[in-house]
Structures are given as structure tokens and as C-alpha cells.
Chain A
Amino acid sequence: MRVVVAKPGLDGHDRGAKVIARALRDGGHDVIYTGLRKSPDEIVRIVSDEDAQVLGLSTLSGAHESLIPIICTGLRESGLGDVIVFAGGIIPERDRKALYESGVRAIFGPGTKTTSVLDFLNEASDRLSAGNPVGVGSDTGWHWN
């Protein structure tokens, strides 16, 4: 799959994003890394121009509550409702429900095994093949974890 790994917001830590990108590369995916400090609009344009099927968002600054729903809305408004969105970084348990409701399908925190990100994509891909929508624009309620 073509996966964009993006860093929204102002934190400058991308070790986690690079580890995930590496795991996806080693799992046979094409990973496009955006670099640091991308705005929601920039991320939506990158996903669109790169024709990516998946978007991974890494944030450690605490801005996930405001930025991630804006990006999910932006994707839907740009006709990118079929893009599968997952998130990672420092995202407290209490904030996760709202992110799932905005269309995020998995959230990975510290200690995640890299293989579980690949397992998530496999499951999402299987669901897709079986005709079950998994994109940010679908109202399925399904999420990985």
C-alpha cells in the first residue's frame, strides 16, 4: 500500500514516525514521509497528490485532539474518505474515543510492537477486500485497538 507518514503540529520529535516508516517499508509498503511540522491542509494535499491509501499521523505535543479531527475532516471534504487513518505518539487513553469517532482506525502508543502496525494494515486490507469500508469517511465504528 502507499502510506503517507506525517508529522502534524509543532513538535520536532520524529524518531517514532521513522521507526513506523521503517517497519512499513520492511513489510513491503511504499512509505512517503512528509518531514516535520506539516499543517492539516498540507497533509491533506500530500495524501491527495501522492494518491496514498493510508495516512499515519504521529504527534507527541498534545495537539492531537485539535489537529487530528481537522485532518480527518479535511480528507473527507477533499473526496478522500476512503483513506485509512491511524495515529501514534503520546495520545492518552481518555482522548482516544474522540479520535476513533473522527475516523481514526488505530492508535499506537509507546511500547507498540512494529509488527502490530503491519497486522493492523493487513486486517484493514482484508476488511476492504471483503467489501467492508475502513476509510476515514465511513461510519463503521470499527477500530483496531
Chain B
Amino acid sequence: MALELSDTSNLLKSARTGNRRSLAKLLTAIERGQESEITSEESWILGVTGAPGVGKSTLIGRLIEHWQSNGEKVAILAVDPSSPVSGGSFLADRVRIPQADIDDSIFFRSLASKNFPGGIVPNIGKMCQALSACGWGRIVIETVGSGQSEISIVAFADIVLLVDGPDRGDIIQAEKAGILEIADSIAINKSDIPSSNSAIEDIRRSLELSEGDNRTVHLVSAINGDGISELISDLESISPDPGRLGIRNREKLISYWVSLLLSHEEIDSQLVNLGNGSITVRDAIYSMGSSMNFGGTANGRNDD
């Protein structure tokens, strides 16, 4: 059931007084593309990205444990993939983060990617704004287990932490272009496994080749807690890189337009036509180009 703008305003008003149920409903409305008038508040958004299985969730659990013990509140938006076949999803990041269930200091929302590219979901920027407007100033976004080129997270996070682990390829992998270049901090997880030492050496040697690259590569173990406090001090002291503005703007634009494209009814009808063989891919592309009009939908939307 579609909500009116006034409904989201009421939800926001209620959520700002600390009503978690209203916040939960507000996030659902925003996720579905509902317009809302939210003014950004001061916030600190950490994006955690890296390949599947490197320990992103378990590491986030360690980070929030630290902030919890300092009496801080943390909101987590954790993205897991949707099935390209059924459209359903198995969202299981909570399983690795039991810390989130201990008390009210953590707000955790699992998000299905709905096959949105880039490792995040549409409207995630707006969801962060809603959280910060409701007093959740420390926000962690966990991407879908991501490869080298899923960099959309830079558009929405102030600080990007890349998590990697042992036995994930030799130094050639560390030399490839992509997410490694734009991460603000890098953590090699699973230091309890001996081959993590060669993984960290590969990354360090790769960074040494870029003059002036003074990013710290941390060797940590989310399982036993080694290296976590050093990683947290580093994350808290990094300032968002102003040189990243161009990339951020580009990713914001792409993410905005792709989400409009994917939520447009035309794409579904073209897929039906393609499925029953009544048109070719070329026809579909031409037809979409000439008939799709985003003017009305796009006007006035602010997806910072």
C-alpha cells in the first residue's frame, strides 16, 4: 500500500521522538521509493565492503561492541543479495552480529539488493538521512559481498573500509584497479590463520608503489579481537577524502538513475515482450529510449 507524503512526515515526526516502530516503517517507505522531506543531520557513515566470506559482518560486530561499551548508538544497514531467479533473498548478516540484539543501542536493518548493481540498494542515501535525523549519528553500511568494481558505496559512506582475508590470490590481485584504490582503510581479517601474513604483505607492497599513499593496512581477527582497537582508532581519525568528490558524484548520479530505471514499469513490460519473443533486444533498447520519461518522477528528488 503506497503511503502519502504526509504519512512519511508523521512517521518521521514519531521516529524522531525515539519511536523505533515508526523508524522501521519509515525506512521501509523510503526503501520502496516513497518521497520524504528529511533534513540531514550531522552523521558519520562507515561503509564496509569486501568479498563474500572475508568476515565483514563479524568484524562489524566487533566494531559495534566497542561503540556499545562507550554508550554510543549505532545503526546498521546490511545488504545481502536477492535471487536473480526467484527475487527472494536469505538475509543472514544478523547471524554474525549477535551484539545487535543485546539492547536498544543498535538499530539493525537487513536489506535485499533486489539485484541493484554496485553492492548497495536504491535509496540508501535517504535511509541514512532518516537514521541520522532520528539521532542515529553513527551508521554502518555493509555491502553485498563485493568484487573489485562495486564502488557505489563511496557515494554514500564518509569512510570506506575494505575487508579482505588470507588465500584470496597473489600480489597480482592487489595490483588490479578498483575498490582497493578508493578504500580509506584496509583490514586483512582472520589474522588467526597464518597465511594472512602474506596477504597483508601483498597489499602493503602494492600500496608502497603509489607515492604518498599512507593508508594503514590492519591485520585483525574479528574472531579473537586482535588488532580491532587499532583499526577503530584509525577509522575514527580519518577525514573524508575531498579528492573523492568526483567519484562520489558520479556514483550518486548512476545510482539515482539506475534506481529510477529499475523501478520503471517499462523495463518489466519490455522483459515480458523479450520473454515471449515478440521483440528483439535491439527493439527493446530503442523502444525504452524513445518512450521512457523520468521528468515527472525525478523532479525535486534529493538523493544525497
Q: Which residues of A contact B (CB under 8 A)?
A: 21-22, 24-35, 38, 42, 45-46, 48-51, 78-80
For the complex, what is the distance from the CA of A24 to the CA of B83, rounded to whole Å? 11
Q: Return the chain B residue nearest A34 by Cβ.
A: B94
A26 pairs with B83, CB closer than 8 A: yes
A50 pairs with B24, CB closer than 8 A: yes
- B109 to chain A: which residues have CB within 8 Å? 49-51
Within the complex, which residue of B27, B90, B94, B108 is in contact with A22, where a contact is CB–CB below 8 Å?
B90
Q: Return the chain B residue nearest A22 by Cβ.
A: B90
Q: How far is the CB of B143 from chain A (nearest CB, A)?
A: 17
B206 at the binding interface (Cβ < 8 Å): no
The 3 closest A-B pairs by CB, nearest first: A35-B95, A25-B88, A51-B24
A21 pairs with B94, CB closer than 8 A: no
Within the complex, which residue of B27, B98, B112 is in contact with A30, where a contact is CB–CB below 8 Å?
B112
Knowing that A33-B95, A35-B95, A49-B108 touch, tell me 7 more A-B residue pairs with CB under 8 angstroms: A25-B83, A25-B90, A26-B83, A34-B94, A35-B92, A50-B108, A51-B25
Within the complex, which residue of B21, B24, B85, B95 is in contact with A34, where a contact is CB–CB below 8 Å?
B95
- A33 to chain B: which residues have CB within 8 Å? 90-92, 94-95
For the complex, what is the distance from the CA of A109 to the CA of B83, rounded to whole Å? 27
For the complex, what is the distance from the CA of A80 to the CA of B21, rounded to whole Å? 9
Hey, what's the 0/1 contact readout for B97-114 against A, CB within 8 Å counting as 1?
Answer: 010010010011110100
- B25 to chain A: which residues have CB within 8 Å? 51
Interface residues of B in 45-86 (CB under 8 A from A): 82-83, 85-86
Question: Which among A24, A38, A45 has the highest number of chain B CB atoms within 10 Å?
Answer: A45
- B91 to chain A: which residues have CB within 8 Å? 30-33
- A48 to chain B: which residues have CB within 8 Å? 20-21, 24
B89 at the binding interface (Cβ < 8 Å): yes
Q: How far is the CB of A78 from chain B (nearest CB, A)?
A: 7
Query: Taking A25-B90, A28-B87, A35-B94 as contacts, is the C-beta distance between A50 and B101 under 8 angstroms?
Result: no
